Amino acid sequence: MKIWVNGGLHDAENALVSVLDHGLTVGDGVFETVKAERGETFALTLHLERLTRSARGLGLPDPDLDEVRRACAAVLDANPMELGRLRITYTGGLSPLGSERGDAGTSLVVGLGETGRRADSTAVVTVPWTRNERGALTGLKTTSYGENVVALARARERGATEALFANTVGQLCEGTGSNVFVVVGGRILTPPVSSGCLAGITRALVVRWTGAEETDLPLDVLETADEIFLTSTLRDVQAVHRVDSRELTPAPGPVTAKAMRIFDEHAARDRDPSLG
């Protein structure tokens, strides 16, 4: 495997950053995961726009998007595969130990890992921890993923692939790496960004392409919703067949199935869609 690190491609065993990189020592970094099918990315421009927004929110200088695109192209060319997870990581770079940044400049790492197509439906659990809708990192896709690691481990222990959070006022928020939608009376609903959820790329496209509505939702909507589905870069649109101990239909419900079909059709027509 070839990985891009700070200006060039390296074999995986030689693709190194300093142990004093601020992304490692304090999680001072942002990232994007981009789906790549046979070397072709999906929604790369939208991902790079969000990378920049996250960097600004963290106080990092804007990434050089021309360099990021060159890095992505080089990594995709060097690592041919059917379906891959392209990971772009941008950090505060070499810094002193502690929270203060150094002046050595940022680090850019781009790698590609092989992945498989997601199942049409999955199981999820709710967790007792909350998202802070008013936190300093709210809405930013940062490398500070510790609470997601803990929550996802809880989900795996319970035979699920995702954990869902409420926010601090008890509203449905998001998953560890996904956005959540519910179907109530034929309407597709999803929490607004003000709930504290990440402004997911797939989420935004699903809202635009299906006419889904953004609205505050209580966590217990998961107990009564007719259908539930998740969205993310690698899940696309994925139905939920179990929430905690509640069983839903084993196959995607009719509204979810239609959303899946609409997303697939639009994505096949435009590999770099916009939200304008």
Each residue's pLDDT tens digit, 131-170: 999 999 999 999 999 999 999 999 999 999 999 999 999 9
Task: Give the pLDDT of residue 162.
Answer: 98
**What percentage of residues in the chain have a pLDDT greater than 70?**
100
Residues of the chain with CATH 3.20.10.10: 121-269
Residue-wise pLDDT tens digits, 163-214 = 999 999 999 999 999 999 999 999 999 999 999 999 999 999 999 999 999 9
Q: Are 28 and 58 in contact (CB under 8 A)?
A: yes
pLDDT-derived band at 220, boundaries 50, 70, 90: very high
Rounded-to-integer distance, Cα 201 and Cα 48, Å: 11
What's the predicted TM-score (pTM) here?
A: 0.96
Question: Average pLDDT over the chain, rounded to whole?
Answer: 97
Q: What is the mean pLDDT of residues 247-255?
A: 97
Residue-wise pLDDT tens digits, 101-116 = 999 999 999 999 999 9
Query: 161-195 as b/e, with b when 16 or more CB fall inside 10 Å?
Result: bbbbbbbeeebbbbbbbbbbbbbbeeebbbbebeb
Contacts of 57 (CB under 8 A, 6+ apart): 137, 139, 140
The domain made up of 121-269 is a member of CATH 3.40.50.300: no
Q: Are 195 and 211 in contact (CB under 8 A)?
A: no
Residues of the chain with CATH 3.30.470.10: 2-114
* Both tokens assigned to 245: 């101990």
Rounded-to-integer distance, Cα 266 and Cα 271, Å: 9
Edge to edge, the sheet with strand 8-11 lists 8-11, 2-5, 107-114, 83-91, 29-37, 40-41
- Cα dihedral sign, 171-173-176-182: positive
SS3 readout for 33-92: EEEEECCEECCHHHHHHHHHHHHHHHCCCCCCHHHHHHHHHHHHHHCCCCEEEEEEEEEC
Q: Calculate ∠ Cα 113-117-123, nearest 5°.
A: 110
The domain made up of 2-114 is a member of CATH 3.30.470.10: yes
Provide the greatest CA pair distance for the chain: 55
Q: What is the mean pLDDT of residues 24-47?
A: 97
Q: pLDDT at residue 276 above 80?
A: no
